[in-house]
Amino acid sequence: MGTEHGAICNSCGHKFRAREGPSMIRELLHCERCGGERWISLLDVPFRSDDKETEELAGRCACGGQYKVHARARCPRCKSSDWREDPEELALFYD
């Protein structure tokens, strides 16, 4: 189950929404460089594939970085992956 929640960047203080984790039929990957998102349908992933196969299927981001299964969302302002959940924002769970 994935989540979407408020986040506060520890580097620049910017508040934003961050999504992390898979749904039942899609895997969410983030670019290791810019934090861009890429959804991959699990119907397109070979049965019992590992993270490397999923990342290869996702390809490269337009910035030149690689989409990674375990990369964190990044601040859209400064691109830092150092952030914390915003306790004042509601978390949404998706499946």
- The domain spans of the chain are 2-94
pLDDT score for 1 = 84
Q: 24: pLDDT confidence band, cut at 50, 70 and 90?
A: confident
Q: What is the DSSP string of 19-82?
A: EES--SSEEEEEETTT--EEEEETTSSPTT--HHHHHHHH-B-TTS-BEETTPPP--TTT----
Question: What would the pLDDT profile of 35-65 be if each residue is shown by its tens digit?
Answer: 999 999 988 877 666 888 889 999 999 999 9
The whole model's pTM is what? 0.87
Instruction: For residues 19-34, give the mean pLDDT.
Output: 93
Query: What pLDDT, on the 0 to 100 scale, is given for residue 48?
Result: 64
| Predicted confidence (pLDDT) per residue in 63-78, tens digit | 999 999 999 999 999 9
pLDDT digits (tens, 9 = 90+) for 1-20: 899 999 999 999 999 999 99
CB 50 within 8 A of CB 70: no
